C-alpha cells in the first residue's frame, strides 16, 4: 500500500494537470531550415583554387580574407587544450586531465592530435612532450576540420593531418555542423559512442524520438545553435557546466550570450499548462526527466574498460580480439576487456557544476573505486540540482608505491608503445617521462576507477519523458539519493496510519450523512 502522503501528493499534482513539458516552442519552427545563407560563394575566390600541398597552405589562403580568425582560434580551449577552473583552482584541459578510457593524450599525440584543431604534431608522438608543438604558429590552425561541408575531409592518425582534394574542400567551406563537430565529439574515447553515452553517430541524422532539437525533419539544430560562439570561442564547457541556470531566457545584452542551458530558451517556468511541475525546476535538472535513457539511437556506449587484461597474446604469440553478437569488441590485446550497453538508464546525483579531477601526480584518494573526477553538490547546496550521468567504470594502471595514477604511452611505432610491443613496464616508463614525472617507483598495478559524464543530449519528446512515478516510488530512479524527503518514495508509518484513520473517518462521515439524508427524505414523503 502506498503511503498516505503519496496520495495527497498525487491529488496536489493533479491540480496542475499531467506531467510533461511544452511539446513545442512557438516561433522556432524556422530554425535549422534556413539552408545555406552565406553571402559568399567560396568557389569564386581565387586564393582557394589551389593547388594545395598541405593543410597549412589552405589556412594561409583562408587568412587572406579572414585575417583575425587564426588569432581567435588560438585563444580557445579547442586550440590550447587548457582550461583553468578558477572555482577549484585546477588546471584542466586535454593537456592535463586523465580519463577512464584511453587514459591521457600525453605521450600519445600521434593519435590524440587527430582531434586537435591544428596541424604539425610530430609523427609517432615523438618528441612526446606537447611543449614541442608550435602553438603560436597561425599556419598550424586547421580551418577545414570545423568548416568542411563535403564530408571528404579527414585527419588520419600518425600522418600529421594530411588529406586529399584540399582545393575542393577549401572551396566548399561553410558553417559548422553536427557532422564536423561530431567527427570528434561523437567518437571520443576511441570509437563511435564510446565516451559520453549521449553523443554518437546516430545524432548525424536523428529522428524526433532520439532528439527533439536535432531531429532532421524538425528543428534540425546544429551544435552551435545551443553552443553559441563568439570569436570562435564555443560556449558550454564540460569542465565547468552550468548546472543551475538562474538567468532564464537568453536576452541579448542582459544574459551571458550562451544557450547551453535548457532555461536559455525555455525559461525558468517551462510548463505553463502544468505549473506544479515548475516547482521541480529549482532542484531537478531538465535533463533528468527529459533524457530517460542514454545510447538509445542504435549505438552502444562503453560502460566498462579493464586495462589490466591488455597485452595478452594468442597461442601464436600474436595480438587478438573478440567481439560480441552485435560486432562490438569485448577484448583486444591492445586495450583489454570492454563491456557495452544500449538504452542505459542514467545514474542520478546532486551536482552544482563543479568537478574535482584526479590529475597526474595527484595522490589518490582512499576510496574504491577511485573517482577520476569527483562531482560536487548536495541537497543542502541550493546551487545544486539532481542531474543524470553516465558513470564509466573500469581498471587503470597506478603506482602502488607512490599511490598515483599513471600515464601510459600507448600509441606509436617506438619500442615502448604498448599497442605495438605489449610491454607495460616500458609503456609506463615512457608515459611518465612524457609528463616529466621522475617519482615513478617502477612498480605498477591496476585500480578500479569510475568517471562521471553529465548527460545533456538525446532529449526525448514529452510523451517519452519520465513520469511522476519514475521517481516518486520506493524503487524509482532516485532511490539511491538520500538525505531528503520525497513523496511516494519515503514513508512515515505513524503519519500513514493517522492518515488512513482520517480517510476512514471522513468516509464514514460521508456515508452516514448520505444515509441520514436518504432516511429523512423517505420519512418526509411518508408523512405527506
| 375: Cα separation from own chain's centroid | 14
Check residue 87 and give its pLDDT.
Answer: 94
Distance CA 244, CA 275 (A): 19
Angle, CA 274 vertex, CA 273 and CA 276 arms, to 5°: 145
Check residue 36 and give its pLDDT.
Answer: 60
127 prior amide bond cis, ω within 30: yes
Average confidence (pLDDT) over 28-52: 75
pLDDT at 255 over 90: no
Give whole-number Cα distances, 418 to 103, 124, 284, 379, 426, in Å: 13, 13, 44, 44, 8
Angle, CA 81 vertex, CA 76 and CA 84 arms, to 5°: 80
Check residue 10 and give its pLDDT.
Answer: 47
Three-class secondary structure assignment of 67-95 = CCHHHHHCCCHHHHCCEEECCCCEEECCC
pLDDT at 389 over 70: yes
- What is the length of the chain? 528
The distance in angstroms from the start CA to the end CA of the chain is 49
DSSP codes of every residue in 166-195: HHHHHTTB-S--HHHHHHHHTTTTTSTTSS
Distance CA 471, CA 277 (A): 13
pLDDT digits (tens, 9 = 90+) for 116-170: 999 887 644 444 456 578 889 999 999 999 999 998 888 754 444 455 689 999 9
Q: Report the predicted TM-score, pTM, of the whole model to 2 decimal places.
A: 0.86
Average confidence (pLDDT) over 480-487: 90
Least-confidence region, from 96-105, 119-128, 463-472:
119-128
Beta bridge partners of 452: 391
Which is more confidently placed, 411 or 399? Answer: 399
Q: What is the mean pLDDT of the chain?
A: 88
Q: What does DSSP say about strands 301-306 and 385-399: parallel, antiparallel, or unpaired?
A: parallel
Q: What does DSSP say about strands 301-306 and 229-230: parallel, antiparallel, or unpaired?
A: unpaired
Give whole-number Cα distances, 430 to 124, 435, 449, in Å: 13, 9, 22
Distance CA 189, CA 340 (A): 13
pLDDT digits (tens, 9 = 90+) for 504-516: 989 998 998 888 8
Assign 113 a pLDDT band (cuts: 50, 70, 90): confident
Assign 413 a pLDDT band (cuts: 50, 70, 90): confident
Q: Residue for cell digits 414523503?
A: 525
pLDDT at 21 over 50: no
Check residue 266 and give its pLDDT.
Answer: 95
Phi/psi for 9 (5° steps) reads -60, -45
Amino acid at each position: 500500500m502506498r503511503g498516505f502522503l503519496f496520495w495527497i501528493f498525487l491529488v496536489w499534482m493533479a491540480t496542475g494537470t499531467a506531467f510533461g513539458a511544452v511539446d513545442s516552442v512557438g516561433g522556432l519552427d524556422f530554425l535549422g531550415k534556413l539552408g545555406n545563407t552565406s553571402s559568399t560563394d567560396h568557389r569564386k575566390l581565387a586564393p582557394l583554387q589551389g593547388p594545395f600541398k598541405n593543410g597549412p597552405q589552405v589556412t594561409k589562403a583562408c587568412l587572406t580574407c579572414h585575417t583575425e580568425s587564426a588569432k581567435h582560434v588560438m585563444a580557445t580551449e579547442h586550440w590550447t587544450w587548457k582550461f583553468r577552473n578558477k572555482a577549484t583552482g585546477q588546471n584542466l584541459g586535454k593537456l592535463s586531465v586523465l580519463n577512464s578510457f584511453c587514459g591521457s593524450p600525453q605521450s600519445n599525440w600521434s593519435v590524440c592530435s587527430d582531434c586537435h584543431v591544428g596541424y604539425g604534431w610530430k609523427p609517432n608522438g615523438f618528441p612526446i612532450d606537447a611543449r614541442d608543438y608550435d602553438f603560436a604558429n597561425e599556419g598550424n590552425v586547421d580551418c577545414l576540420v570545423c568548416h568542411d561541408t563535403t564530408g571528404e575531409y579527414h585527419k588520419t592518425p600518425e600522418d600529421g593531418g594530411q588529406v586529399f582534394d584540399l582545393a575542393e574542400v577549401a572551396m566548399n567551406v561553410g558553417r559548422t555542423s553536427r557532422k564536423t563537430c561530431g567527427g570528434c565529439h561523437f567518437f571520443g574515447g576511441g570509437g563511435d559512442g564510446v565516451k559520453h553515452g549521449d553523443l554518437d553517430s546516430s545524432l548525424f541524422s536523428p529522428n524526433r524520438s532520439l532528439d527533439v532539437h536535432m531531429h532532421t525533419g524538425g528543428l534540425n539544430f546544429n551544435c552551435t545553435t545551443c553552443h553559441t560562439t563568439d570569436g570562435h570561442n564555443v560556449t558550454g564547457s564540460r569542465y565547468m557546466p552550468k548546472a543551475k541556470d538562474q538567468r532564464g531566457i537568453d536576452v541579448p545584452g542582459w544574459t551571458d550570450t550562451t544557450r547551453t542551458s535548457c532555461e536559455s530558451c525555455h525559461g525558468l517556468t517551462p510548463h505553463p499548462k502544468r505549473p506544479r511541475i515548475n516547482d521541480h525546476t529549482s532542484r531537478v535538472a531538465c535533463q533528468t526527466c527529459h533524457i530517460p535513457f542514454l545510447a538509445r539511437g542504435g549505438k552502444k556506449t562503453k560502460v566498462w574498460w579493464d586495462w589490466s587484461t591488455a597485452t595478452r597474446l594468442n597461442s601464436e604469440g600474436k595480438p587478438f580480439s573478440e567481439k560480441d553478437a552485435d560486432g562490438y569488441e569485448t577484448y583486444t590485446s591492445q586495450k583489454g576487456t570492454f563491456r557495452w550497453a544500449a538504452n542505459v538508464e542514467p545514474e542520478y546525483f546532486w551536482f552544482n557544476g563543479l568537478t574535482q579531477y584526479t590529475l597526474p601526480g595527484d595522490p589518490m584518494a582512499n576510496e574504491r573505486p577511485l573517482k577520476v573526477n569527483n562531482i560536487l553538490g548536495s541537497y543542502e547546496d541550493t546551487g545544486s540540482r539532481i542531474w543524470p550521468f553516465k558513470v564509466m567504470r573500469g581498471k587503470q594502471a597506478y603506482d602502488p608505491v607512490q599511490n598515483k595514477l599513471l600515464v601510459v604511452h600507448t600509441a606509436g611505432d617506438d619500442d615502448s608503445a604498448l599497442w605495438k610491443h605489449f610491454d607495460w613496464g616500458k609503456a609506463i616508463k615512457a608515459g611518465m617521462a612524457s609528463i616529466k614525472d621522475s617519482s615513478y617507483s617502477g612498480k605498477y598495478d591496476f585500480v578500479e576507477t569510475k568517471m562521471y559524464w553529465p548527460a545533456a543530449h538525446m532529449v526525448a519528446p514529452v510523451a517519452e519523458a519520465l513520469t511522476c512515478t519514475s521517481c516518486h516510488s520506493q524503487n524509482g530512479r532516485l532511490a539511491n539519493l538520500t538525505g531528503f524527503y520525497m513523496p511516494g518514495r519515503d514513508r512515515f508509518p505513524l503519519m500513514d496510519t493517522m492518515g488512513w484513520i482520517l480517510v476512514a473517518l471522513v468516509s464514514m462521515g460521508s456515508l452516514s450523512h448520505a444515509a441520514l439524508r436518504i432516511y429523512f427524505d423517505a420519512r418526509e414523503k411518508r408523512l405527506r
